[in-house]
Amino acid sequence: MLKHCLIILVLIISSSGYAQDEDAYVFGDNTASTSSSSSSGSGFDWDKVTIGGSVGLTFGSITFVEIAPTFGYFLTDNILAGVGANYTYYEEKAINFNTTLYGARAFGEYLFNDLPFLAHTEVEMINLQWTQEERKNIVNFYVGGGLKQLIGGNSYFYILVLWNLNETRETIIIQQPNPIIRGGVAIGL
């Protein structure tokens, strides 16, 4: 119940916060004078880079610690492509069980102009302890979308609702079944 209330609260805050004025500079707006690191417009541009990710913590009879940093690059004003890593520690004291999961992901996002929405697609590979002697790689394909709240420049908070198109018995063991709700931040450099 608390989880549902928190999601509704985040959605309300995101929607009401969107009505506020944005910064004078809009990413990709060539009319504003800015000092850019690349004057020719070709090659790598640090102004198009975002770093961010998410952190998840739960303590008690179940301990869950997740660290998921991301690195993104705006290919156009609306399209962000990126990569990320994932480390998770899980412990359930009642059955004396603990494990670690780690992996990597590649993602793409489309950020809608003048709307607080984004579309998200992702492929993720997770390595987990399958038996005492064996670790196993699981590949997940996610599609979905969510809400974004601009902070300024090309930085924003986000909350995503994703569906795993490759949901199997193994993926349900390591995470909740569809849909998967995820949140985080992307900070423009």
Residue 7 domain flag: no
CATH number assigned to the domain comprising residue 104: 2.40.160.20
156 or 146, which is more confident?
A: 146
Number of folded domains in the chain? 1
Determine the structural domain holding residue 142 and report its residue range. 47-188
Q: What is the pLDDT confidence band of residue 170, given thresholds at 50, 70 and 90?
A: low
Structure tokens, 179? 């849909």
Top-confidence range, 12-26, 68-82, 124-138, 162-176: 68-82
pLDDT above 60 for 4: no
Q: What is the pLDDT confidence band of residue 5, given thresholds at 50, 70 and 90?
A: very low
What percentage of the chain exceeds 90 in pLDDT?
28
The answer to pTM > 0.75 is no
Location of structure tokens 């607080």: 116
Residue 174 domain flag: yes
Residue 105 domain flag: yes
What percentage of the chain exceeds 70 in pLDDT?
74
Residue 156 domain flag: yes
For 118, residues 6+ apart whose C-beta sits below 8 A from its C-beta are 109, 110, 111, 112, 145, 146, 147, 148, 158, 160
Tens-place pLDDT, residues 20-41: 444 444 445 544 444 444 445 5
Residue 176 domain flag: yes
pLDDT at residue 153, rounded to an integer = 76
Tens-place pLDDT, residues 52-111: 888 888 888 888 898 999 999 999 989 999 999 999 898 888 888 888 889 999 999 999
Give phi and psi for 13, each to the nearest 5.
-65, -40
Q: Omega into 179 within 30° of 0, i.e. cis?
A: yes
pLDDT at residue 183, rounded to an integer = 87
Region 39-46: mean pLDDT is 69
Location of structure tokens 């509704």: 8
Region 152-170: mean pLDDT is 84
Residue 70 domain flag: yes
